[in-house]
Structure 1
């Protein structure tokens, strides 16, 4: 199996290439985002290991451009281990995220797991009735009309759409969108959903976001 490593730090790059080669993989190494993207698009790889901080661009941008061409599994490597960074990588289409410094045995286990799993992942576009959510460009349209959302509203809509037709409690929504428990102030979720519904549903005949009394909210098409 063939792996592309995109890593600008010479010692880390050499360490990865040596360890993966000794583990029976064919390894190519790129030290810039541009070279990595070129190889990733032009060559058929089973997996890409991608550093976030690169000298000419960053791994986020490399992944965004790659996903316009290929669905190759990507494992991010980064010295940044903030929750927001991990979420950002996964929402852009990454398959895994490993913080530096890392143990090679853990990296190897992640690599083998991803290779067994294959390239299946969430689609980069969600369509429900006349709603279209472009997860790469963070663009939302209904009936061809562009709807401008704040980053928080987009995250809320994405969560509801990804769990289409599933009634989600306020606690579930708060935990995912705000990454904390708003059980003591449930009104925060209600206000956010109300603002989203005003943008998403008020000007359209078919309503997509519905409240479920005593439980939470659901996104689905319902006949008026």
Structure 2
């Protein structure tokens, strides 16, 4: 079961922060129409509206304050702040325009995004974890499986070593048994001859050596 779970998550291959990125991207694309409308409204207010926009109004105010500074240079700080405000407005407008230019709705990409997001949630339910925790859960299962595989390899190695030692023991035991049998026969003969010298011509001494 563990191996199957890891294989399933390996196939899906969710990145470490991918789920939150998928959510954010899905939210952005799902609201692309509202984004486009609000971007256009913001750009109009900042500089695109011919009748009234923030940039043109700041420019008008700057024209006035520059004249004021010519009368009293203590107002120079006000003029500087307005200049900074104008720069901020222009940079903000540029950022928003860049965002608007790159905002596009790709139905095929959106479908792929929804499919992957759905699969992530499905796997999260299956593994009883929050979608945001799926990546870490996957890594934990990989570590657990690796540990089990290592234990199996160690067990196989130990079994092989035990088999080798057993074979060596049996070989040594067989040699010892053969040696004992040879010496037992010699001892049989010697003892038998000694007994017969005691006027027991039919006596026979035998030593049996068994190897189990």
Q: By the TM > 0.5 criterion, same fold?
A: no
TM-score, normalising length: structure 2: 0.17
Bigger-Rg structure (1/2): 2
Q: Structure 1 or 2: larger helix share?
A: 2
Q: Structure 1 or 2: larger strand share?
A: 1
Higher relative contact order (CA 8 A, sep 6+): 2
TM-score, normalising length: structure 1: 0.16
